[in-house]
A and B are shown apart, each in its own frame.
Chain A
Amino acid sequence: MSRVAEFLLRRKGGKGWHWTDIVTWIWLLGGLFVMFGPAVWLVGSSFKSPAALAEFPPSILPYVTQKVTVEGYDKPLDLYEATLPDGRKATLAEVRRIGIVSQMVDPQKPGEIIKVNIGQRTPVRQMSFAMQNYSEPFTHFDFVRYLWNSVFVTVTATLITLVVNSMAAFALSKYEFRGRTFAMLLILATLMVPLSVIMVPLYSIVSALGLFNNLWGVILPTVATPTGVFILRQYMLTIPDELIDAARMDKASEWQIYWRIILPLTAPALAVLAIFSVVWRWNDFLWPLIVLSRKELYTLQVGLSIYSGELNVQWHFILAMTVVTMIPVVLVFIFLQRFITTGIAGTGLK
């Protein structure tokens, strides 16, 4: 055991503990709690029944009060561990509560009502995962629709992003033509025009094109991303021009050069862009919120925010849907984190 501790706590050069080491570990462990805690709490809460969610103080794990069906009563009754007036302990079902007095019955002898002070009883609880939080939204809400809309937007936008931007990057990295620098500057200048600045006129253009309340109205404005052109172009610049000369000598058309030589060789950068695009499009919120006003067109993000903004928030469903919405991104995070972190460190983009 001490070996393990020694291994965990050892420091470079085997020197003793410095105050900075203590700060480091406090920061790291605190970070672990603050960063992961909320998400873990969300997942845990998503399995609680509405009653358990309303409890305070909340329990860490999803518990429900055990119920029992007693002869002579239509509904199942809550089960309690009660201390009887004579000091005996018994497991009783509560029939009703009047003030601070609870009327209880013994499930074995349902005829006799026993009065117990509410301070003298504790509910019998068992762990229970409220799976209906997950299953019901699929039928009650248009959750499947939202999921499908989000998947459609994400996949389509990503595919178009990859094709359109790789073509542009190819033109901007491997051809000499007049206006090339101008085109490049124009694309980079887009970085200065975020959605929040042009959303009003963009809305009128999208409407004029008949794309209001249309998933394509969500997809198209996002696909010509300057960052996409930028990463792909930087990568393509590292592909030697002689390869293209060789392909031309090999009677390849320019289109063939693009998709048989350039695209396969750009695969690593395309993968990075694809990952980013999936995350961006999956998470998009403001623009879909503007373009999509019909319920059946909502993406997950819009649907979630609308339902969570309702007066009577059904938290048990919202939490479960939030967890489902998180899943793709968490999968991306677990399996492709390395790609993303190196991508960001290399280009400083998000």
Chain B
Amino acid sequence: MGHIKLTNVTKSFGAIDVLHGINLEIKDGEFVVFVGPSGCGKSTLLRMIAGLEKPTGGELAIDGKVVNAIPAADRGLAMVFQSYALYPHMSVRQNLAFGLENTKMPKAEITQRIAEAARMLEIEAYLDRRPGQLSGGQRQRVAIGRAIVRRPVAFLLDEPLSNLDAELRGSTRAELAALHARLSATMIYVTHDQVEAMTLADRIVVLRAGRIEQIGTPLELYNSPANRFVAGFIGSPHMNFLEGTVESVQSGKAVAALAGGHRIELPVNGAKVGHGARVTIGVRPQHIAVNSDGSGIVAKIKLVEALGSETVIHADVAGQKVLVVAPGQHRLAPGTEMGLSLSAAPLHLFNDKGLRLDHTV
């Protein structure tokens, strides 16, 4: 109970198209994360599912029933807002009860549901306080509690962790994951933070400028991003992109020349690559090896950030910025040169339109 299907959903505010033809199917019990830069339309998409915004076109169905015309109150969903949106003039208990009272639920059941949620979220101690008397983390729990007591067919979470400090965000993230496992309810989660997306999601929907760029499990997105945007967005620090030109194509093997003259073999994997085509080679900073003898691609060291467990090196390869994350500690001086090796690295190949050249991996 919590199957949501969007077919060709569009949304415009006046003349501005915010979402273009969104097709998406969310299975019951799935944890789906909408991720993308600000202004990509992810929050609008969520609010449309919630019923707070009306789609301009397309069809939105929950459990097989088209809900385009059904108001938010009757969709059986619950939402956790970025600002928590707790009613400031009501106690925590009244906040939790408000939605239930509106459904004319018997008092006894309301009390029981609140007790249950409060126990689950460990907010029993401050049920009689007002939101203003709570810390950010406590308010966040109450906001989640207000959704839980409703027993919704799906939870909608709009950047619920963005108002917490970094430490609390980490622990709450883990609790949310545990909560999902325990409730096994459908959850749709909006964030601009790819770490949250990677850690929480069953499936991630990457959005940009009102379009879905890619849908997949976190590792699918990490291992085979469909385009340069997804490749750059998922993973931290973000992927390096090196421009190159294909020099030779022979029996499934291609070699490209990077700016600066270095040649590397490309993982074509059956994709068609023309001679002389311009390609972008993506490589994650963690996958680049530093050659202790200085051989390989020559890179000039700009900045070295020693984090102890790893060393982040900002380098310059023939005018292109390259970021290397090398495990362990390295003695490298800015201004000197070093040799980089890509031979062991999984390479991602994108054409001049930014699309991935093979989809097989």
Scoring A240, A243, A251, A256 by chain B CB atoms within 10 A of each residue's CB, the highest score goes to: A251
Which of B81, B88, B102, B146 is A245 in contact with, Cβ under 8 Å?
A: B81
Whether B73 pairs with A242 at a CB distance below 8 angstroms is no
Q: How far is the CB of A174 from chain B (nearest CB, A)?
A: 13
CA distance A180 to B99 in the complex (A): 30
- The interface residues of chain B lying within 8 Å CB-to-CB of A249 are 50, 52, 72-73, 77-79, 99
Residue in B closest to A242 when the chains form the complex, CB atoms? B85
**Which residues of chain A in 229-253 are interfacial with respect to chain B, using CB atoms and an 8 Å cutoff?**
240, 242-243, 245-253
- Binary per-residue interface labels of chain A (192-212) against chain B in the complex, 1 for a CB within 8 Å, 0 otherwise: 000000000000000000000
Q: Is A264 close to B, CB under 8 A?
A: yes
Q: Which of A249, A253, A260, A265 has the most CB of B within 10 A?
A: A249
Residue in B52, B83, B88, B102 whose beta carbon sits within 8 Å of that of A252 in the complex: B102
Contact of B52 among A240, A248, A256 (CB under 8 A): A248
What is the number of contacts between chain A and chain B, taking CB atoms within 8 Å? 59
Contacting A at CB under 8 A, from B63-83, are: 71-74, 77-79, 81-83
By the criterion CB–CB under 8 Å, are B85 and A245 in contact?
yes
Q: Which residues of B contact A245 (CB under 8 A)?
A: 47, 50, 52, 72, 79, 81, 85
- CB pair A242–B87 under 8 Å, yes or no, is no
Q: How many residues of B contact A (CB 8 A)?
A: 25
Within 8 Å CB of B87, what residues of A?
243, 246-247, 261
B103 touches A251 (CB 8 A): yes
Nearest neighbor of B81 in chain A, beta-carbon distance? A242
Q: What is the CB-to-nearest-CB distance from B110 to chain A, in angstroms, rounded to a whole number? A: 13
Q: How far is the CA of A252 from the CA of B98 in the complex (A)?
A: 8
Query: What are the residues of chain B within 8 A of A246 when measuring CB–CB?
Result: 79, 81, 85-87, 146
Q: How many residues of A contact B (CB 8 A)?
A: 17
Most buried by B among A242, A253, A264: A242
Return chain B residues, CB-CB under 8 Å to A240. 83, 85
- Which A residues touch B88, using CB under 8 A? 265
Chain A, range 279-293, C-beta contacts under 8 Å to B: none
Least Cβ distance of A254 to chain B in Å? 10
- How many angstroms between the C-alpha atoms of A253 and B150 in the bound complex? 16
Interface string of A145-173 (1 = CB under 8 A from B): 00000000000000000000000000000
Contact, CB under 8 Å: A250 / B71: no
Q: Is the CB of A265 within 8 A of B71?
A: no
Binding site of A, secondary structure by majority: helix, strand, loop or mixed?
helix
Contact B89 A264 (CB under 8 A): yes
| Cα of A247 to Cα of B81 in the assembled complex, Å | 11
**B83 / chain A contacts, CB cutoff of 8 Å:** 240, 242
Q: Mark B140-151, 1 if CB is under 8 A from A, else 0.
A: 000000100010
Contact with B along A122-156 (1 / 0, CB 8 A): 00000000000000000000000000000000000
Q: How far is the CA of A269 from the CA of B79 in the complex (A)?
A: 30
List residues 17-74 of chain B with CB under 8 A from any CB of chain A: 47, 50-52, 71-74
Contacts of A265 in B (CB 8 A): 88-89
8 A Cβ contacts from A258-272 to B: 260-261, 264-265
Contact across chains for A251 and B81 when beta carbons are under 8 A apart: no
- Which A residues are CB-close (under 8 A) to B52? 245, 248-249
A163–B72 Cα gap in the complex (Å)?
Answer: 27
Measured in the bound complex, the distance between the Cα atoms of B104 and A253 in whole Å is 13
Chain B residues closer than 8 Å to A247, beta-carbon distance: 87, 98
Report the bound CA distance from A245 to B158 in whole Å: 12
Give complex CA distance A16, B47 in Å.
67
Query: Within 8 Å CB of A242, what residues of B?
Result: 81-83, 85
Q: Least Cβ distance of B253 to chain A in Å? A: 56
Asked if B98 contacts A248 (CB within 8 A), the reply is no
Please give the distance in Å from B258's CB to the nearest CB on chain A: 49
Query: What residues of B have a CB within 8 angstroms of the CB of A253 in the complex?
Result: 73, 102
Given A242-B81, A242-B82: A250 touches B99 (CB 8 Å cut-off)? yes
Q: How far is the CA of A261 from the CA of B86 in the complex (A)?
A: 10
Query: In chain B between 267 and 298, which residues have their CB closer than 8 angstroms to a CB of chain A?
Result: none
A251 close to B85 (CB less than 8 A): no
CB <8 Å contact, B71 and A248: yes
B→A interface (CB under 8 Å) = 47, 50-52, 71-74, 77-79, 81-83, 85-89, 98-99, 102-103, 146, 150
A-B pairs with lowest CB-CB distance, top 7? A250-B99, A246-B85, A242-B85, A251-B102, A251-B73, A264-B89, A248-B72
Interface contacts beyond A249-B52, A249-B78: sample of 5 additional A-B pairs, CB < 8 Å, sorted by A: A250-B73, A252-B99, A261-B87, A265-B88, A265-B89
* 20 pairs from A and B in contact (CB 8 Å cutoff): A240-B83, A240-B85, A242-B82, A245-B47, A245-B50, A246-B87, A248-B52, A248-B71, A249-B50, A249-B72, A249-B73, A249-B79, A249-B99, A250-B98, A250-B99, A250-B102, A251-B74, A252-B102, A261-B87, A264-B89
| A residues adjacent to B (C-beta < 8 A) | 240, 242-243, 245-253, 256, 260-261, 264-265
